[in-house]
Amino acid sequence: MKAVRIIALKKDRKRVLEHLQNSALVHVKHMDEPENGFKRTDTAAQLKQFERNAELTEQALKILGRLSPEKKGMLASFKGRKEIDPDEIGRIALDSAKIIGICQKLVRLEKQRADYAAEQIRIKTSLAQLEPWKKLDIPLNTKDTSATSVFIGTLPKLYDNISLSKALAEESDGLVFEYEILYASASMTCIVLFAPKRQKETAEKALRAIGFAKPLNPTSRTPSVKMQRLLQKSKELEIKDEQAKQDILSYLEHREAIYDTQDYFNLRSEKYRVIAELDQTKHVFVLNGYIPDEDCQDLVEMCERIASCIVEFEEAGENAPVKLKNNKFAEPAQSIVTMYSSPSHEDIDPTPILAFFFYFFFGMMFSDAGYGLLMVIATAAAIKIFKPDKKMYNNLKLFQYCGVATIFWGLVFGSIFGDAPAMFYKLFTGNEITMKELIPWPTLDTQKDALLIMILSIGLGLIHILVGMGCKFYVCWKHKQYAKALFDTGLWMLMLIGFAVLAAGIAASPVLIYVGASVAVLSAVGLILTQGRGKKGIFGKLIGGVASLYDITSYISDLLSYSRLLALGLTTGVMAQVFNMLSTLFGTSFIGIFFMIIIFIAGHTITIGLNALGSYVHTMRLQYVEMFSKFYDGGGKPFEPFSVKSKHFKTKGSNED
């Protein structure tokens, strides 16, 4: 990685930045303050406007999507972005004002529909409140006459004519009244009551005593008339809402243009963030950044071609970002590394090592040649048909390589869609046969040879851990930390190797027992003598050395974690065999074959979904927890070039991923 400094005339700034953005070569360096004699341009206002426009397009797309969802197939996510000519961005820019206007109309129309919906809710609420009063033939807010007091309201429980008369009589013996019960339910009784004007206070007191309450929203019209008007208004709102909906749908033809405009404003936002980082004078601007060594010449040639630029390079230093560069076999696994953390300048790039073990362990866990073949075919077809972007391409290649490893381990374990070949042979011939008899090479049975596969899993785990420790040894040695390399890593590696030889000797040869035990004991003595070297005093050093031997428990725990290689492989095989058995229960009749096909396809689909996910997660855990913990710190800053970060289009000739 090199630090780069580009100096150019301010009049060429637009052209230079556009080519830099399209080339995706330079990671722009953030500097808190401009250099002496330079100043910065405040682009906050423009950025805010671009971001507001991008958000507006997002709102518009959601509005269109709710009324007319895009018809995307299940595999649409594999499809790459459309490719456009760089000159096409100019056309998008010219149309952006028109498209933003359309987006604003869509947002206004959606707000109108929201207002209509809110009004409909209010109407429904009012209708519900008026429903008990629909028999009332006078307005709810009817006033008293010169001789009569009018009381319209509710009581908080069920009353009939007898109980209401009795309740009022108990509260006031001398009260003269006439009433009508308009509605009655278990929780409410609606009444209209008339009493002489001279007894208004008496009537009020009696009614208040039994819980009388006036309506919340009394109207100047009869309830039935008010309800008719509300229903009419509701119909008018429905018509208006439908019209607004059709107006929104009339803009569907602009959806693709809205997508393009959204990308355009995101592109502009990225550009103006970079402009804010430029050191500038009246006539000159300076861009500071980082660039991979192999791209330096491409940058020089590009700058010479587009403008009069001065390009200077120097060593990047420890604060430089990190760009991972690997071959085609390892590159798909870079996402696994960056998901954990990008390597720092103190680390090595673990991608090649991780890639091999990730594919290898995934295949051992998934362990079915039929499933692996499906993975290889499906990923190859997706790459061929959809021509995905680089990120999706690498994800597909990751699973393609995992599929190859799955085929290998499936053939080792004699599993092709479980025991499907043997099952079909028996079903249609009536003769018993096993997968071992069908396959012309020696195989391991995950059920019958479980102990052997467990030993194999632990052995592979030991190799995995030793590789991680070897990386730690290399890193320490590279940084001239020789004592740390030899004593803190080397001795532990020797001890683990010694125990492995000792275990092999128990099964094979007494000589190996003595060799392994000797290596392990000598390594333990070395650890006791060296692990307390940071302590004070001989006694402290000795105690620290002895205490360090306790770490053997963590290594044993790590090794036992690799038993999941057996567990996941066993699960895949057993589930596949169970579904195979279920598919044969209906025999070989027409109906039996029909159900056999259905159960076979559905069962293996379930097995693939569950066990592929489990294999992915547990394989990743073995990399992160068991291996990375031995040597990898991470914490590096990823290389993020100034580029066209768009979701829907990419420009022809662009170097972006």
Task: Indicate the SS3 state at residue 62.
Answer: helix
- Considering the domain architecture, whether residues 381 and 516 belong to the same structural domain is answered as yes
Does the reported pTM lie above 0.75? yes
The pLDDT value given to residue 173: 80
- Contact, 410 vs 371, CB < 8 A? yes
Least confident of 147-156, 366-375, 549-558, 611-620: 549-558
The pLDDT value given to residue 74: 64
Rounded to whole angstroms, the Cα distance separating 241 from 518 reads 87
If we measure between CA atoms, which residue out of 439, 504, 497 comes closest to residue 469?
497
The pLDDT value given to residue 304: 87
Strand partners of residue 284: 9
- Considering the domain architecture, whether residues 335 and 200 belong to the same structural domain is answered as no
Flag whether pLDDT at 431 surpasses 60: yes
pLDDT tens, position by position, 227-252: 999 999 999 999 999 999 999 999 99
Categorize the per-residue pLDDT at 46 as very low, low, confident or very high, splitting at 50, 70 and 90: very high
- Considering the domain architecture, whether residues 418 and 551 belong to the same structural domain is answered as yes
Least confident of 411-425, 446-460, 635-649: 635-649
Of 195, 214, 233, the position where a domain reaches its end is 214
- Contact, 214 vs 149, CB < 8 A? no
36 part of a folded domain: no
**Residue 363 lies in domain:** 331-423+450-631
201 part of a folded domain: yes
- Considering the domain architecture, whether residues 335 and 479 belong to the same structural domain is answered as yes
The pLDDT value given to residue 655: 63
Flag whether pLDDT at 373 surpasses 90: yes
Report the percent of the chain where pLDDT is more than 90.
56
Least confident of 83-87, 329-333, 414-418, 637-641: 83-87
The pLDDT value given to residue 289: 92
Sign (positive or negative) of CA dihedral 201, 206, 207, 211: positive
Flag whether pLDDT at 217 surpasses 90: no
Q: Find the radius of gyration of the CA atoms of the chain.
A: 39
Average pLDDT, the chain: 90
The pLDDT value given to residue 599: 93
Count CA atoms closer than 13 A to 94's CA, side-chain side: 5
The pLDDT value given to residue 436: 86
- Structurally, the chain folds into a number of domains equal to 2
570 part of a folded domain: yes
Strand partners of residue 288: 5
CA dihedral 263, 268, 274, 279 (to 10 degrees): 170
Categorize the per-residue pLDDT at 32 as very low, low, confident or very high, splitting at 50, 70 and 90: confident
Categorize the per-residue pLDDT at 178 as very low, low, confident or very high, splitting at 50, 70 and 90: very high
Of 214, 230, 253, the position where a domain reaches its end is 214
- Contact, 3 vs 313, CB < 8 A? yes
Flag whether pLDDT at 468 surpasses 60: yes
Angle, helices 88-130/255-275, rounded to nearest 10 degrees: 120
The pLDDT value given to residue 654: 65
Categorize the per-residue pLDDT at 344 as very low, low, confident or very high, splitting at 50, 70 and 90: confident
> Residue 204's domain is classified under what CATH number?
3.30.70.2750
220 part of a folded domain: no
- Contact, 380 vs 367, CB < 8 A? no
User: For tokens 């109407």, what's the residue?
Assistant: 123
240 part of a folded domain: no
51 part of a folded domain: no
546 part of a folded domain: yes
pLDDT tens, position by position, 568-622: 999 999 999 999 999 888 888 889 899 999 999 999 999 999 999 999 999 999 9
Q: Please compute the mean of the pLDDT values over residues 402-408 and round it to a whole number.
A: 96
612 part of a folded domain: yes
pLDDT tens, position by position, 114-162: 999 999 999 999 999 899 999 999 999 999 999 999 999 999 999 999 9
The pLDDT value given to residue 656: 59
Categorize the per-residue pLDDT at 78 as very low, low, confident or very high, splitting at 50, 70 and 90: confident
* Tokens standing for residue 460: 């592979």
DSSP H or E segment with residue 181: strand 178-184
